[in-house]
Amino acid sequence: VIDYQFIKVNTVEEALKVLAEKNNVKIIAGGTDVLVELHKESKDLESVDYLLDISGIEELKDIKITEDKVEIGGLVTHSRVLKNKFFTENIPFLAAAAKDIGSTQIRNRGTVGGNVCNASPAADLFAPLLALESEVVLRSQKEKRKLKITDFIKGPYKTHIKKDELLEKVVFKIPAGEYYCNFQKIGRRKALNISRLCLAFLTVIEDGVIKKANLVPGAATPYPTPFKKIDDYLKGKLLADIDPAEIGKMASDSMVEITGERWSTPYKRPALSKLAERAVSCVKEEAGFDE
Amino acid sequence: MNKINVEITVNEKKYELEVGAKERLLDTLRKQLKLTGTKEGCSVGECGACTVILDDEAVNSCMVLTAQVDGSKIITVEGLESKGGLHPLQKAFIDNQAVQCGFCTPGMLMSALALLNKNPNPNKEEIKTALEGNLCRCTGYQQIIDAVEAAAAEWGK
């Protein structure tokens, strides 16, 4: 039986106090995951004694952009990410990933913090956030700590958040110099789709040479993992010389190295390969190297 | 399970209510306020039949606990009609045969209204994006999109 006390807080301090003092607390923000669990009478909710509603905490609703850094408050909705002018102009693959989440109604409620903390293997934001080498800022009454998102995720639907901690914000450095990014996705249909596969690619170049490349698939592996091998391979090469099809093949090989041959592999191998190929092609084109 | 006191404004009328800790906005509207225009379809945020406007944004009322929205303003399909007359959106839906079984219609109207309130001159793509979370199993959508376009044209006048 699901039986909890509902607690609403309006400040981070109040939330941290509840998290420190009470046990079996479940946090609710936009509710787009929790309400599904509630409707399904999920067993996971049976152990919840307190449902802590943080959706009214104004201080977690800011997008802060400084010269070299972006901070996205945990309660920023997907709608605000996709409409943010700085993102659409400068980090378009993040806005594109936010736009592909659910539907307008879901994007109006669902939050960045919720997407990250729920850690679904299909969470759309992970791919670009990982490509941007984002970190999460976690707070408790005792401390404030910063973790790379890759270190924060423990596994499918599991993170390293402690029971007395609240995700305050997601932060990343704005890539310096000349950089390009791209987001690709396959869903079963356009709206409402939960990612079957997606992919984010970010590269920084200097005089045509790749200084940095981050290629991160989403929903391809049990939890989002950057393809380090590809990043290492690309570094130091001329972007103009890169063969997108080869990167595509490397991407699908890297995926199968992690997952092994699964029932979905015959589908996912060529699909991911094509996504990576497209992402690299788009970036080359944008950088002025026509295919 | 505790009870929570909330004050919400629905269709410009204020209500002070006591709600359950698991009570969804959808339940409050339909059961407490008897505003049954808002429909329950899938109950998991996929079909959009329960769409209402919450503080100017279209949301699925099955995805919101009423206890979360104390102090909010909500518009439901019942809020469209004024002085006994149909809203231009409602007229456009009728004129364009955008209603067949009608179950999705209240949600469609709310999504369309949220769009037009913010963007009175939407293009087709913007209309489709606004309605992407609303399923219709009868019409095939074309008539609904036509209706929203027609309402937008009327809006502009």
Sheet holding A25-28, edge to edge: A5-8, A50-53, A25-28
- 3-state secondary structure string, chain A? CCCCEEEECCCHHHHHHHHHHCCCEEEECCCCCHHHHHHCCCHHHHHCCEEEECCCCHHHCCEEECCCEEEEECCCEHHHHHHCHHHHHHCHHHHHHHHCCCCHHHHHHCEHHHHHHHCCCCCCCHHHHHHCCCEEEEECCCCEEEEEHHHHEEECCEECCCCCCEEEEEEEECCCCEEEEEEEEECCCCCCCCCCEEEEEEEEEECCEEEEEEEEEECCCCCCCCCHHHHHHHCCCEHHHCCHHHHHHHHHHHHHHHHCCCCCHHHHHHHHHHHHHHHHHHHHHHCCCCC
Taking CB atoms and an 8 Å limit, are A31 and B1 in contact across chains? Answer: no
A210 near A241, Cβ under 8 Å? no
Which of these ranges, A179-183, A225-229, B9-13, B35-39, has the smallest mean pLDDT?
A225-229
What are the residue ranges in chain B where pLDDT is below 50?
none
ipTM: 0.96
Q: What is the mean pLDDT of residues A205-211?
A: 95
* Cα B135 to Cα B137: distance, rounded to the nearest angstrom: 7
The answer to whether residue A89 neighbours chain B at the CB level (below 8 Å) is: no
Residue A191 pLDDT > 60, yes or no?
A: no
Q: What is the mean pLDDT of residues A208-228?
A: 90
Which residues of A are less than 8 Å from B54 in CB distance?
108
The position carrying tokens 């084109």 is A285
**Which two tokens mark B2?**
């505790």
- Reported as a pLDDT band with limits 50, 70 and 90, residue A291 is low
Angle at A12 between CA B14 and CA B1, to 5 degrees: 55
Which of these ranges, A83-87, A146-150, A261-265, has the smallest mean pLDDT?
A261-265
- Give the chain A residue whose CA is nearest to the CA of B108: A105
> Tell me, what's the pLDDT at A187?
67
Q: What is the mean pLDDT of residues A236-244?
A: 96
Residue A189 pLDDT > 60, yes or no?
A: no
Q: Which of B35, B53, B67 is nearest to B116 (CA)?
A: B53
By three-state DSSP, how is residue B45 classified? Answer: coil
- Compute the count of residue pairs across chains A and B with CB atoms less than 8 Å apart: 88
Residue A168 pLDDT > 60, yes or no?
A: yes
Q: What is the mean pLDDT of residues A250-274?
A: 90
Taking CB atoms and an 8 Å limit, are B21 and A191 in contact across chains? Answer: no
How much is the mean pLDDT over chain A? Answer: 93
Question: Between these two residues, A219 and A6, which has the higher pLDDT value?
Answer: A6
Roughly how many angstroms between the first and final C-alpha of chain B, as a whole number? 51
By three-state DSSP, how is residue B57 classified? Answer: strand
Q: Compute the nearest-CA separation of A108 from chain B (Å).
A: 7
Over residues A68-116, the pLDDT tens digits come to 999 999 999 999 999 999 999 999 999 999 998 889 999 999 999 999 9
Residue A243 pLDDT > 90, yes or no?
A: yes
- Reported as a pLDDT band with limits 50, 70 and 90, residue A131 is very high
**Which two tokens mark B114?**
């949220």
